[in-house]
Structure 1
Amino acid sequence: MLSLLGLVVTLGMVFGGYIIAGGKIGIILHSLPYEMMMIGGAALGAFLVANDFGRIKHAGADMMAAVAGPKWKKQDYQDLLCLMHRMIVILRESPVDIEKHIEDPQNSELFAEYPRIQKDKKAVDILCDTIRSMMMNFDDVHQVEELLEKQLDAMKEEAMHGAHAVEAIADALPALGIVAAVLGVIKTMASIDKPPEVLGKMIGGALVGTFLGVFLAYGVFGPFAARIKGVREEEHSFYELIREVLVSTLHKHSPNICVEVGRRHVPTVMRPSFNELEQALKGTAA
């Protein structure tokens, strides 16, 4: 919601300052529909040309995420650590028993206790595929770490598609604003025989195009692209936590040490305290 609040503050300060300074808002309001049609329509057309349907859908979801914030909350990180602790214990005590959970996670009573994680295909796939490989004696720490690193890099690159698309729109908007302004000047030059007060309004209307292009680029789409990047990077920490715990497992550390390594990898604002995690682990053990 802070994104929407920031947008309201930006609009209020820019147009409020303009009105207080004596500017006539009527000129902007008169030109706004036409300029927005040219600038917004050109930006939308360029966006459709540059992206396939998947990335367009991705960008729409990213804009919603920029408003709603990161998907994973503090409780989700704690639940993930508890889930992995239980899986490590089962894997070491009875490898046969872990198979029913990793082969059919959607019907696993273990995963069912953590429904938000169970619904996330990426997290479940990383967990189950890596543990399955470990059971097949693919347990070289460096190879597993490198494999997970490449998988996570590919996931992060895919998650950033929406941010890159919105950023491209922000980069194009100033130039599209100039295009709209040039068209307004052409229109003005065709009416050069009009009185000065008429020409002044027409020139002012033409400059609205330049203003809108720059304002939308640096006041709206640029900040939204940065916000999307921040949200997706924070969400990616959830999957990096899985890598840290699994790699620690291959180093033969105890389950408690493995999840402690993962806990310290959690972003600070989402990180459960040592005591909170210890109490949660005692609850799962009970």
Structure 2
Amino acid sequence: MFGIVGIVVTFVMVFGGYILAGGKMGVILYSLPFEMMIIMGAAVGSYLLSNDSYVLKHTLSGIVQAFKGPKWTESDHQDVLCLMFQLLKIARENPVGLEQHVENPQESSIFTAYPRLLADHEVVSLITDTLRSASLNYDDPYQVEEMLSRRLATLREEAMHVPHALQTMADALPALGIVAAVLGVIKTMSSIDQPPAVLGKMIGGALVGTFLGVFLAYGFVAPLASRLSGVIKQDLVFFDVIKSVLIAGLHQHATTLCVEVGRQTVPDHVRPSFDTLETALRDLKKAA
């Protein structure tokens, strides 16, 4: 929602100020299709040249994600804490019974109670792989913490490929705008015998390229890359919450305390309150 508002405000303020200052839109509108073709065509071509299939595949979904905002909400954080509470409780009381949930989460009565979590492969994989390793006596909390840190570092690096690629495009757009402007100047110089009024329009059209390159870079692509980067970082905190609960569990803390450690890791604006989470855990205990 705010992304759309930002685009509208940018257009209104830039072009509204230009028109109020006495600027004429005719030159811009005439040159816009050609300059846009040169600048965005070169930008897209260089984007295809400089990025691999993973980045290209996730670019469109990344742009959508930037406008939609963070995936994980307060209720999702509460759900994952409740899920971890149930799994750790079973791991303490009935390690053998945990195997069916870890090996086949799609049919687990615990995982299926949280469909949004179950639908995320990375969340399920992180939980089940760690619990499976612990069941194989790979239960040194410090070794597991190092393993999880490396895994999450790899996940962060992969997730940031698209915003980095978009930022690189934003950095290149002003230079591509200059390329379009230079081509316009070349065209103008080939018509140097024309009257000053004609040459003025041609030079104005050439300068549209410089304007578009800078405008697209700092008005759209760079803010989009920054927004996507922020959204991804907020979503990745979700995995830090899971990690903190798992490590606390391996340290043999009380299950309720493990969940509280995870709750404290959640960012404040999406952190479930202590009372709300306590009520949810109490309901789970009663249902059990």
TM-score range, shorter chain: over 0.9
AA in 1 matched with 2:239? Y
CA deviation string 1:32-77 (max 9, x = no partner): 0000000000001001111122211211111000011111111100
AA in 1 matched with 2:88? I
Report the TM-score when normalising by structure 2. 0.98
| Equivalent residue, structure 2, for 1:178 | 178
Correspondence 1:222 to 2:222: yes
SS for the counterpart of 2:193 is coil
Please say if residues 58 and 161 of structure 1, whose CA atoms lie closer than 8 Å, have aligned partners that are also in contact.
no
| Equivalent residue, structure 1, for 2:101 | 101
Q: What is the correspondence of 1:6-155 to structure 2 with a 5 Å cutoff?
A: 6-155=6-155
| Equivalent residue, structure 1, for 2:285 | 285
Q: What is the distance in 2 between the residues matched to 1:24 and 1:265? A: 54
Q: What is the distance in 1 between the residues matched to 2:275 and 2:122? A: 29
4+ residue segments displaced more than 6 Å: none
Q: What is the distance in 1 between the residues matched to 2:158 and 2:53? A: 14
AA in 2 matched with 1:216? L
The runs of 5 or more residues in structure 1 that have no matched partner are: none
| Equivalent residue, structure 1, for 2:259 | 259
Q: What is the distance in 2 between the residues matched to 1:285 and 1:4? A: 45
AA in 1 matched with 2:64? M
Q: What is the distance in 2 between the residues matched to 1:169 and 1:225? A: 9
| Equivalent residue, structure 1, for 2:250 | 250
SS for the counterpart of 1:67 is helix
SS for the counterpart of 1:55 is helix
| Equivalent residue, structure 2, for 1:271 | 271
Q: CA shift at 1:5, angstroms?
A: 1.1
Report the TM-score when normalising by structure 1. 0.99
Q: What is the distance in 1 between the residues matched to 2:135 and 2:66? A: 39
What is the CA RMSD across the aligned residues, in angstroms? 0.7
Please say if residues 59 and 161 of structure 1, whose CA atoms lie closer than 8 Å, have aligned partners that are also in contact.
no
CA deviation string 1:123-180 (max 9, x = no partner): 1111001011111111111110000000000001111111011111101100000000
| Greater mean deviation of Cα atoms: 164-173 or 52-61 | 52-61
The runs of 5 or more residues in structure 2 that have no matched partner are: none
Aligned identity (percent) is 56
| Greater mean deviation of Cα atoms: 32-41 or 264-273 | 264-273
| Count of residue pairs brought into register by the alignment | 286
SS for the counterpart of 1:109 is coil
